[in-house]
Each structure stands twice: as C-alpha cells, then as structure tokens.
Structure 1
Amino acid sequence: MSKTDPDRIDDALIALRRILRATELYERDLAQSVGLTPAKLRVLQLLALRDRDGATPTALAHQMGVSQATVTALVDQLVRRGYVARHRSASDRRQTDVVITPEGAEALRTAPNALQQQFVQGFGAMADWEQAMMIASLERVAAMLNAEGIDAAPVLATGDIRMGRPRA
C-alpha cells in the first residue's frame, strides 16, 4: 500500500462532505418551500409525466427502484396532503391507479429544482468515458464505505426514503 498525501485525504473528505451538505440543504429547502421530501417529489414528477390515467404503485416502485411498500407509504402521505388520489383502474378494476391532483401539480410547479436533475444535466454533458469513470469512482467510494450492499433508489436524499427522516 502506498503512502497517501494527507492533503489528498482531506480533499477527498471535504468533497464527500460537500456532497452530503448539498443534499441536506436541498432537502431542507424542499421541505420549507412545499413540504415534500425528495422521494415524494419524485413520485409527483413521475405521475406528472403520465397521462390522466396515472400509474400503479407497482409501476412507480419499479421506476423508482424501491419496494412497493415504500411507494405505498409515500402515496399514503401524498394522499393525506391532497397531492395525489387513488382511483380504480379503467382497464383493470382489480388495480388501483395513482394520479396527481391539481394541488400536487402546483406543489411540483413551485418546488425548487431537484438536486438529482442538476446532477443529471451535468452528468449528461460529460463524455462517455467521463461518465464511466465517474460511475467507477462513485462505486469505489461506496465500497470503501461498506455501502455497496445498501438498497438505494436514484433519489438524492439523506433520510429514510419513505418518511424523510434521517437514518440512525
């Protein structure tokens, strides 16, 4: 093992801390402006992209990369706020579709730009080789932190995705 320059270690830790802080600050801004967590905002974004029929909780879970139980908890909270509604599917009466309400569309319209959208724009502007290098580096960091086995959705958030509370 080679000897690592202490300044490089500090630079790496500072960069990680900046990423964590950016995520925390975004979550706070989102909560203050429209009372949503990033995961709930993502549900609204996905529903806004659908036609008036909405989406099943299973489809939302698949698209978000989380369990159906997680989506059910998120939808329950959004229903209580009046941002989404559940309706029987017109095509299959055994299924329930989730649709965004006008109140949910307004919350989505007034929400600050999602942090992951900023990342997606910057990542998309990178060359293919840079994207591959970035993914490899981030996966290596996750492995260094023994986090490679942690279930994670493509939502930049620091808390529990279902409730928006910080993890213990």
Structure 2
Amino acid sequence: MARHDEVLIALRQIIRATDLYSRKLSKVAGLTAPQLLILQAIASRGEMTMGDIATEVSVSQATVTTILDRLEKRGLIERKRGERDKRRVYAYLTTAGRDIMERAPTPLQDEFMARFERLEDWEQSLILSSLQRVAAMMNAGDIDASPVLDLGAIDRIQPNGDGQRRRRDSSSYQPDRK
C-alpha cells in the first residue's frame, strides 16, 4: 500500500473516531461536544459570564450565547444578572444540567490530551508539526477551529424530542415544520 493511502486511512480513522464519539455523546446525553464542554466549564466554577465561557472553551461569545440559549431551553442552565453588577449575566447549572453531566461520556479531547501529555516533548513536537503540515496540504491552515473534537457546526442543533434534527449546520438550515 502506498504511503499516501496509509496517511489518508489514518485521517479517515481520526474523522471516523470523532464522528462515532459525537454520535455516542448525542445518544447518551443528547449533547454536542461544545455543549458538554460549556456545561463542564460552568460546573467547574459554579457560575460564569459568557465572556469567561468563550475564553475557557475557545469559541466566540456569539457561539456561546447561541449554545447557552439551547441549553437554557432544555432546562440545563439558568442565566441570572449579577448581584453587584447588573450588567453582567452569569450562567449556572441546574439540577438537570448536573444530572446530564453525570451520564455524559468524557470528552474525546480530554482522553487525547491525557495521552498526548504523556509523550516526550520531541514526539509532541513531531505530531504537531506533521498535523500542521497536513492541514496546510489540505488548504485548511487558515480555517478557524477551536480545540473541540467534534464534527459539523460548533453551535448546531441536536435532535429534538422526537429524534429529528432541526439543523446540522448553517449551510443547510431547515426550520421545524409542525
């Protein structure tokens, strides 16, 4: 087998592993990876502003707001104005939010990071430079991406109660028909 075929197979395996994890997370907890990361960030601090969440999870504040809207509709978080500064809005986990986090699998990138950190510095550098070169070879070097292993739009809608997806990503938006 040609080396380029082996590289393409390895890339496909990475994409497939990410897809399978995303499906598992959706099936088990009804969440996307970014939703889970945001819930984890809030859980770790007890309360967070939208800006703090955006910084912690490495996504835009607009994306955080969109995701929090969806989590709030599901009753997983609440937003409240600050006691001292009414301009600040804080997100809190609800009991339902804590319950769903207990059921959710560990984020895929957490497992990856733990294994990656155990590698020698030279091996980490080799992997990083190789992946950066692959991204450049695929004309993906300028694509904005956060460190969240997930497929599709980062703020996409998950299945609703009847298992139907409302939106996969911004390029294929289909409003609900009731």
TM-score, structure 1 as length reference: 0.91
Shift of 1:167: 7.3
Give a deviation string over 1:57-82, Cα, whole Å, max 9, x none: 01111122211110000000000111
Give a deviation string over 1:11-62, Cα, whole Å, max 9, x none: 10000000000000000011011100001000011111103xx110011111
Q: Which runs of 4+ in 1 moved over 2 A?
A: 164-168
Deviates more, 1:133-142 or 1:73-82: 133-142
Shift of 1:115: 0.8
- Residue 110 of structure 2 is matched in structure 1 by 117
Shift of 1:166: 5.3
- Residue 18 of structure 1 is matched in structure 2 by 13
Query: 1:27, 1:157 within 8 Å by CA — same for their partners in 2?
Result: yes
Q: Secondary structure at the match of 1:9?
A: helix
> Structure 2: which 5+ runs fail to align?
158-167, 172-178
Q: Distance in 1 between matches of 2:131 and 2:84?
A: 42
Deviates more, 1:134-143 or 1:32-41: 134-143
> Structure 1: which 5+ runs fail to align?
1-5
- Residue 3 of structure 2 is matched in structure 1 by 8
- Residue 40 of structure 1 is matched in structure 2 by 35
Q: Distance in 1 between matches of 2:5 and 2:139?
A: 20
Q: Distance in 2 between matches of 1:155 and 1:89?
A: 29
TM-score, structure 2 as length reference: 0.86
Identity %: 43
Q: May I ask how many residue pairs the two structures share in their alignment?
A: 161
RMSD value over aligned CA atoms? 1.4
| Letter in structure 2 aligned against 1:153 | S
Which of these residues, 108, 121, 125, is aligned with residue 128 of structure 1? 121
